Amino acid sequence: MVKPPACRTKLRGLLNTRLFKALGDPTRVGLLAYLAERCAPLTVNEAAQCCPIDISVVSRHLAVLRDAGVLEAAKEGREVRYSIRYPESVKLLRDLADALDGCCPINPTKRKGGKR
Amino acid sequence: MVKPPACRTKLRGLLNTRLFKALGDPTRVGLLAYLAERCAPLTVNEAAQCCPIDISVVSRHLAVLRDAGVLEAAKEGREVRYSIRYPESVKLLRDLADALDGCCPINPTKRKGGKR
DNA sequence: GCATTAGTTGCACGATTGTGCAAATATACA
DNA sequence: TGTATATTTGCACAATCGTGCAACTAATGC
């Protein structure tokens, strides 16, 4: 048994289509980038300033990103502040990169350093 | 000016919707995972063994992944061998993680190590 | 109570997408 | 040449998705 079976299930588990589906729309990544640039939790109204679309659409897009695990919502009074889940998002991307990198033993990307 | 504008353009540039669109379909990620598990370039026929769908659909999906930059195609005679572009894919995921991680100065994911 | 503001949800419509079948293209072999 | 195999492409259809409008819910202030 040459190929480690652990990496398979890990890679399969990390390849969550819901996340990529969420990031597959230009309006949504525009919202995500806007949130990242503003460096602060934004309300739906504030996030809507990023692009000329209806507030209801923005609300739906933010909900999609929240369901995908990229954002988290915090209700404050009558407004909701959406913020990026940095630790989880970054970790997921790094884990995915590591899983893809370490899946094939004869991988040309073979890093010279350690695990991290 | 507190927030570095360099990270913005970097993040925007890395948030390529075509890549995420390609990874947003379960059949395509199934093909990608199958390629990763087999640890070798596969023909369309071989890749089609991963799931019970028509070969033409597999061909189209592989083309989508190729156009997204995840796979590369090498024509050998009358068959085409698709393989994962490990270095580029892994680097893109790591760059995206770094860009997201380093975008906001007051980022809770604040890494203890250096830049890389 | 009523009015206002913030956000979500129902509905409809147009656009995109995934799929299978058949036809077309390309390469190898007799 | 003709035949067989591998892959791609045209076409049609169903399903999903993004969008805007209106209606609805929730919370604040009069």
Listed as ranges, the nucleotides of chain D within 7 A of a protein C-beta are: 4-10, 17-23, 26-28
Q: Could you tell me the CA-to-CA distances from B12 to A25, A36, A93, A99, B102 in Å, in that order?
A: 13, 10, 16, 24, 13
- Crossing angle between the packed helical segments A55-67 and A26-38, to the nearest 10 degrees: 80
Residues near B86 by Cβ (< 8 Å), separated by ≥ 6?
A: A100, A101, A104, A107, A108, A109
Q: Quote the pLDDT of residue B1.
A: 57
Specify whether the backbone of A69 is left (phi greater than 0), alpha (psi in -120 to 50) or beta: left
Contact predicate A72/A87, CB 8 Å: no
CA distance B62 to A34: 32
Question: With contacts defined as CB-CB under 8 Å, which chain B residues touch A87?
Answer: 108-109
A interface residues, B as partner, C-beta within 8 Å: 2-3, 7-8, 11-12, 15, 17, 20-26, 29, 32-33, 36-37, 39, 84, 86-87, 89-91, 93-94, 96-97, 100-101, 103-109
Give me the CA B69–C1' C7 separation in Å, rounded: 38
pLDDT tens digits, chain B, 116 residues: what are they?
554 566 667 899 999 999 999 999 999 999 999 999 999 999 999 999 999 999 999 999 999 999 999 999 999 999 999 999 999 999 999 999 999 998 887 655 544 444 44
Out of 3.40.50.2020, 3.90.1170.40, 1.10.10.10, 1.10.8.870, the CATH code matching B5-103 is: 1.10.10.10
Residue A106: the pLDDT is: 63
Is B20 within 8 Å of A23 when comparing Cβ atoms? yes
What backbone phi and psi angles, to 5 degrees, belong to A104?
A: -95, 125
Task: From first to last of the 116 residues of chain A, give the pLDDT tens digit.
Answer: 555 566 667 899 999 999 999 999 999 999 999 999 999 999 999 999 999 999 999 999 999 999 999 999 999 999 999 999 999 999 999 999 999 999 887 655 544 444 44
Pair B69, B89: CB distance under 8 Å: yes
The Cβ-side half-sphere exposure at B110, using a 13 Å CA radius, reads 4
pLDDT number for residue B113: 43
> What does the DSSP assignment read for B35-95?
HHHHTS-EEHHHHGGGSSS-HHHHHHHHHHHHHTTSEEEEEETTEEEEEE-HHHHHHHHHH
Provide CB contacts within 8 A for A1, sequence distance 6+. none
- Residue ranges of domains in chain B: 5-103
The per-type count for chain A, helices as H runs and strands as E runs, is 6, 3
Q: How many CB atoms lie within 10 A of CB A77?
A: 5
For residue B64, the model assigns a pLDDT of 98
- Assign domain A5-102 to its CATH architecture: Orthogonal Bundle (1.10)
| Sign of the four-CA dihedral B110, B93, B13, B114 | positive
